[in-house]
Amino acid sequence: MAKEATIRVAQGENPIAVLRKAHKEQLLLCDQLEEIADSLPDSVNRQKCIYAARALGPMVRVLHRFEEDVVFPLFAERLKEHEDIEATLNRLKFEHCEDECFAEELTEALHALGANRPDINIEATGYMLRGFFEAMRRHIAFESEHLLSNETLTAADLLFTDDTDRGPS
């Protein structure tokens, strides 16, 4: 099995900027998943399904490892005076686990849809797509509002932040 890619922070690169860029990429994938869901049942772009299936699992896993290994410890230290920070980070880790399991199931469904398998349940696949991208958008919004708010960012973080990096409103 090939080793999966990881997100690395280059010397002098701000992890918050890296996270915001990764969130943007995830939101773009959510948009693609929404387009697929909207195309069901009669206008499915099978190639788009295959591309989404290939990107989904690795993107989710790699970003989650980055958050858990780099970003969450950073915020645990910065927000240690907040008594609920550990509970919040543990909740987000649990959501990561759920999202990764969901992404595996959705990947299989997207491959089946892309292959035009006759046994695929279109209605169930539509619900899976919507459930996944809506949960992902909520997760990103929560992180943006609670971890990436101006009160948790440092002056150095703010140098790498602009209004286009805020994620969903």
Is residue 104, in this structure, part of any structural domain at all? yes
Is residue 160, in this structure, part of any structural domain at all? no
Secondary structure of 20-40 in HEC code, one letter for each residue? HHHHHHHHHHHHHHHHHHHHC
List CB contacts of 71: < 8 A, sequence separation 6 or more.
15, 16, 19, 147
Beta-carbon-side half-sphere exposure of residue 145 (alpha carbons within 13 Å): 9
Is residue 116, in this structure, part of any structural domain at all? yes
Is residue 124, in this structure, part of any structural domain at all? yes
How much is the pLDDT for 1?
Answer: 41
Is residue 159, in this structure, part of any structural domain at all? no
Is residue 22, in this structure, part of any structural domain at all? yes
How much is the pLDDT for 17?
Answer: 85
What CATH number is given to the structural domain containing 133?
A: 1.20.120.520
Q: Which domain holds residue 107?
A: 15-153
Residue length of the chain? 169
**pTM recorded for the entire structure:** 0.85
Q: Mind listing the pLDDT tens digit of every residue in the chain (169 residues)?
A: 445 567 776 666 788 888 989 999 999 999 999 999 999 999 999 999 999 999 999 999 999 999 999 999 988 988 888 899 999 999 999 999 999 999 999 999 999 999 999 999 999 999 999 999 999 999 999 998 888 876 666 655 655 554 444 444 3
Is residue 7, in this structure, part of any structural domain at all? no
Is residue 114, in this structure, part of any structural domain at all? yes
Task: Please tell me the total count of domains within the chain.
Answer: 1
